[in-house]
Chain A
Amino acid sequence: MLEFDGLRKSYGTNLVLDDVSFSVHPGQMYGFCGANGAGKTTTMRIALGLARADAGEVRWQQRTVDLEVRRRIGYMPEERGLYPKMPVLEQLEYFARLHGMNVAAARASAAALLDGMGLGERSKDALEKLSLGNQQRVQLAAALVSNPDVLILDEPFSGLDPTGVDALAENLAERRSRGVPVLFSSHQLDLVERLCDAVGILAGGKIVASGTVDQLREAEATRQLRVVIPGSNGGWAHALAYARVDSDRSGEVLLRLDDPNRDQDVLAAAMAAGPVTQFGWRQPTLVEIFREAVAA
């Protein structure tokens, strides 16, 4: 288990992280969300030893993350960077060896990754000769090439086209299925919702929500009841004393209840107003959960 325990960090008087704690389990894909400047990158860089926490620590399998542990972590920094003039295969091989692979294993792993990304033909080209999209793939390959036990990826999906997103998602799913905990940050909440087992939302230097997507939905105080009566106006709903109407347009009404157990009362009232074609609790999107959590 990868544990972030009570991380605290300030730059001068600016408190960036305020007691950030969460954990990523083996085989779990953890989406790290938060507005710009929320502290996601700082949290990740502390795990990689690139920034120092004022308090708290990061542990992998009960062991404080040090240089030796970091060799088992695959890392993709927010600011991409590799050697521009170095051939890609050799470059990946180099990073694999720095992580402790022997020559043969490093070469085999690098070649297999490039082939898998459709870059086998370009393996002898200098990185700078590749398109930006392909450079991004090589950057990801650099994080994966040592077959790390842990993956920490800062905005890995940014700058990828839809095909690239799918390929990366597939690759990460394969790693997860081997038991690798995957922590990645993203602004693309729909992606996080689609891919992740667990989500952490960072706002103002604090984790304001954390857990599986289902848990977050359960905890969501703003669950909405959706009722569709074609052709009716929402007058019947506005008349209910125990409910608040969030939206009402062309027969579709979204309601929030003071007491969730009164949903059957709503159904009865709706049926009295006209033929109900759709009725049910609406799953909040991660975007909504995020807005709610950040606003709180």
Chain B
Amino acid sequence: MTAPATAKTASYDRTGDVRMSSSRTVGLIARREILTRLRDKGFIGSSIFIVVLILGSVVFQVLLQSGASNVSVGLTGGPQQLAAAIREQADALGLDAEVSEYDDEAAARRAVESEEIDAAVINAETVLVNESLNDNLGVALTSAVNSVVLAQRLAEAGVEPGLLRPVSLSVSSLQPADDESDENALVTFVSIMLLYTLLIFFGQFIAQGVVEEKASRVIEVLLATVKPWQLLAGKIIGLGVLAFAQLLIICAAGLGGSIAFDVITVPGAAIVTVVQVLGWFVLGFVLVAALFAVCGVLVSRQEDLQTVLLPMTLILVAALVLAITAGQNPNGTLAKVTSFLPALSPMVMPVRVSAGTVQWWEIALAIVLMVLAIVAAVRVGGRIYAGALLRKGGRVKIKDALTAERVS
């Protein structure tokens, strides 16, 4: 029954074979990750939820700001200069007041009742509103009426009009701040929230994918043809592409919407901030994804996953809290130190940058430290990953994974 010894290889058509390089293998793995996630209802649902959440918060800002800054005021009777004075005072308080004149009190009252206008000033004596008067508008109206009536009375008393010109205070700030930096802070804050959410979200998905391969034992089939590092790299790249695409969609929609609705008046600065956050996201993602994957490989069941992921999750929560703290005090020691620490820097450094107090070398240093951390995580993490992939049963200790025989 023994076949002739001359038969060297099986007689299959091999024209459909391609040379397998590492990049081809990694590409195939990444492609599978992407296709699988795009079919996963849980992933799509959560992705949509994140997009809606972030865009929703931007829309909320739009509504909040537009509701507060535009006021319309009706006038009847009172001095001629009153309309101009109201506009001036409102403007000083950050309100955009539209002033319209009415023939009599009844017409003004009807306009208030029909909510055409927010308030009506009757004969420079009474303010008519539907329910209550907006605080800022109240101040604006009071000072407008005061200044006009006072000027009128002084003029009547014979004071020269020249003396009535208002005195203006000139402000000179030690640290020039402007609308731009306020807007920037807002954009940065939203971006940091986004970064945090996506890192946690995708970290979880990476870890779940790793456990799935262990739990289903498909890992045994995979590792017969694929090296552990190729598997790890494919996963990180595949999910990275998805995460980056999601981030781009959110940023484009959020930024476009914000500019369209005038939440942001200086798009240039906001775009710079967003680009900066995208860069930090790439670095942060690689580190977080590698660490989550390594945590995931220590267990064999999805039920055990949350326990091993807890330390990683806490680090991300800490990064978020530190980033928010840094927003309040970007020059504090805490903000400075944490803006260099890998895993924290992707969230803290953008906050400091948008506060405008960072030297270029500080950014460079943070990036270098982050890259070093990634190299270390991939090296050591890769060893743990390779050592623990084929271990079954309970939780694998990191020490055991490092000393375990590894598939090559």
Interface residues of A (CB under 8 A from B): 25-28, 48-52, 61, 67-68, 70-71, 73, 75, 77, 79-86, 90, 94-95, 97-102, 104-106, 108, 142, 147-149, 175-176, 178-180, 197-198, 212
Does B20 sit within 8 A of A, measured CB to CB? yes
Complex interface: chain B residues within 8 A of A102 (CB):
16-18
Q: What band does the interface of chain B fall in when counting residues whose beta carbon is under 8 Å from A?
A: 35 or more
Does B336 sit within 8 A of A, measured CB to CB? no
A260 CB → nearest B CB, Å: 25
Cross-interface CB contact of A98 among B1, B25, B405, B408, cutoff 8 Å: B25
CB under 8 Å from chain A, chain B span 29-52? 32, 35-36, 40
Interface residues of B (CB under 8 A from A): 1-5, 7-13, 15-20, 25, 28, 32, 35-36, 40, 212-213, 216-227, 390, 405, 407-408
Per CB-CB distance, the 6 closest pairs between chain A and chain B, nearest first, are A27-B3, A105-B16, A81-B217, A179-B7, A197-B1, A77-B220
Complex interface: chain B residues within 8 A of A149 (CB):
9-10, 12
Q: Which residue of A lies closest to B22 (CB)?
A: A67
24 residue pairs from A and B, CB less than 8 Å apart: A25-B5, A26-B5, A26-B7, A26-B10, A27-B2, A27-B4, A49-B223, A50-B390, A52-B407, A81-B216, A83-B213, A85-B36, A85-B40, A90-B35, A99-B20, A101-B18, A102-B17, A147-B10, A148-B10, A149-B10, A178-B10, A178-B11, A178-B12, A179-B9
Q: Are A82 and B218 in contact (CB under 8 A)?
A: yes
| Separation of A106 and B19 alpha carbons in the complex (Å) | 14
Do most interface residues of chain B lie in helix, strand or loop, or is the interface mixed?
loop
Q: Are A179 and B10 in contact (CB under 8 A)?
A: yes
Q: Which residue of B lies closest to A139 (CB)?
A: B221
Cross-interface CB contact of A28 among B2, B40, B221, B224, cutoff 8 Å: B2
| Separation of A27 and B6 alpha carbons in the complex (Å) | 10
Check A27/B7 contact, CB under 8 A, given A50-B407, A85-B36, A101-B18.
yes
Complex interface: chain B residues within 8 A of A105 (CB):
15-17
Q: Which residue of A lies closest to B5 (CB)?
A: A25
Listed residue (B9, B19, B227, B405) with the most chain A CB atoms within 10 angstroms of its CB = B9
Q: Which residue of B lies closest to A151 (CB)?
A: B10
Complex interface: chain A residues within 8 A of B18 (CB):
100-102
| Separation of A197 and B32 alpha carbons in the complex (Å) | 40
A128 CB → nearest B CB, Å: 9
Complex interface: chain B residues within 8 A of A84 (CB):
212, 216
